[in-house]
A and B are shown apart, each in its own frame.
Chain A
């Protein structure tokens, strides 16, 4: 059961502002999402271990330097940048 408090906590962790009048609707929507995912639990399966379903292990890189991207490319999508830095509003 998803409660209004759950929504407030998720919003807090995700740094999202949620208005009071949005809460009921969000609670309903989130409940539907979780119910949808719960369908997985109904599946008829023989094992409970989903820890390594693809059965892969030890896919490694060797420690060799590859070229990085130029700074212009890196900050290309930044909403704001200055002197090569990403710039964001300081968080309280």
Chain B
């Protein structure tokens, strides 16, 4: 029989606020243990939490960017559980009145992954287990999170990967989170069940907790799918349980016993007041949202004539997209800027985070000036390319590196002079060429280009050389 994967995601995203959700402590990652703490976030008696307004705004932004309805009235609730990562023995979260609900993320195959809800809550502290003891650092405790809960609409591992990547892209674009999975600012709990293909019923699901790498999410899902299929095939029943994925052995194992049966005894958080969200605020936030990446992608393809693969690279990182858009203002062909960015500039950005940060010395205005010179015919592509390298090295403008006379290019006489010089500098190559080795011309041509400091036009120089050597 053929089986189908059914999966839903609970995705925790740490918000990029400066301070924690209920106190003024910094949210900075790292720091010495228990140095980003105060009586509120370590839950001392007699303290009162006060909600960070930015958290509400960021959550609304996240909701709007994922097509959610925003609640006009929301409240906070206590989720009770006793574990050392929560100093109060409860987490302040939202239960039945979350800020956002009923949204979706659309995948490239046209399927919509529905989002049930997005709520705000506080993160827990970090635990280090060592020799029978647990060391606790509450720096992360109280850092604001949104939890994005999807419906079980994911059917393949590919869809799961795309869903997580899309969420990551959206949240980064709108600036509510850096979504660094390796630093834990984005983590997923993955629900999985299997059912015979064509069936509409949902099977018993298991939950793999706390995944923080897309690669491992994919591996864990593949493993868990196979495991459940073989349980069902052999006549057994899948047990509802929480699993841990072990990266080293690429297997899942049960994490919690019966004694941890979920009984969170939610009730309204008495220390915090109701959150009212006016329609005017929702509209104001909607207006302030940047153009979302998929909308941008389509516009680049349709209106700017950028090939799809290039458009995908350009829109994947918000800063690169902004740089591209600034650099094409007033230019004729957007593909020129796209080629410089995806070629010479991309080469200098070694990894994802370098691309994300996009810390390069040449400004978009400097690139645009150079493109305008190319388009007006004042500067040859060769010269532009070689000068761009220097611009990227030094941060200097094109005009600082190349004089007007350089830009004018070479006169015919000067080019002939350079060709003659190159011929006399390369007697061996000349002999080879005359003996019929066409390729030898390339090294002579290289000398011309080098001596002209990129100013010579390669095609013209090649023609001149052939003339000289005929």
User: Are the C-beta atoms of A57 and B276 separated by less than 8 Å?
Assistant: yes
Q: B33 at interface (Cβ–Cβ under 8 A)?
A: yes
Within 8 A of B (CB), among A72-92: 74-75, 82-91
Q: Is the CB–CB distance between A87 and B133 below 8 Å?
A: yes
Once A58-B276, A61-B51 are accepted as A-B contacts, the answer to whether A66 and B24 lie under 8 Å apart by CB is: yes
Tell me whether chain B's interface is mostly helix, strand or loop, or mixed: loop
Contacts of B434 in A (CB 8 A): none
Number of A-B contacts (CB under 8 A): 122
A41 to B84, CA, bound (A): 35
Q: Is the CB of A61 within 8 A of B136?
A: no
Q: Is B34's beta carbon under 8 Å from chain A?
A: yes
Distance in Å from the Cβ of B86 to the closest Cβ of chain A?
12
Tell me if A3 counts as interface (CB < 8 A to partner B).
no
Query: Which bucket holds chain B's interface residue count?
Result: 35 or more
Question: Is B34 touching A9 in the complex (CB atoms < 8 A)?
Answer: no
- Convert A21-42 into 0s and 1s, putting 1 for each residue whose CB lies closer than 8 angstroms to a CB of B: 0000000000000000000000
User: B84 contacts which of A9, A64, A66, A88 (Cβ < 8 Å)?
Assistant: A88
Q: Contact between A85 and B273 (Cβ–Cβ < 8 Å)?
A: no
Is the CB–CB distance between B136 and A85 below 8 Å? yes
Q: Tell yes or no: A52 within 8 A of B by CB.
A: yes
B134 x A89 contact (CB < 8 A): yes
Residue of B34, B83, B263, B272 touching A84 (CB-CB under 8 A): B34
Cβ of A12 within 8 Å of any chain B Cβ, yes or no, is yes
Contact residue among B36, B39, B53 (Cβ-Cβ distance under 8 Å from A60): B53
Instruction: Give A61 to B276 CA distance when docked, in angstroms.
Output: 15
> For residue B139, which residue of chain A has the nearest CB?
A68
20 contacts between A and B (CB under 8 A): A13-B80, A51-B274, A58-B275, A60-B51, A60-B52, A62-B54, A63-B52, A65-B24, A66-B23, A66-B25, A67-B24, A68-B26, A68-B38, A74-B38, A74-B42, A74-B138, A84-B33, A85-B34, A86-B138, A88-B133
Task: Give the A-binding residues of B (Cβ under 8 A).
Answer: 17-19, 22-26, 32-39, 42, 50-54, 56, 75, 80-84, 128-129, 132-138, 259, 263, 265, 268, 272-276
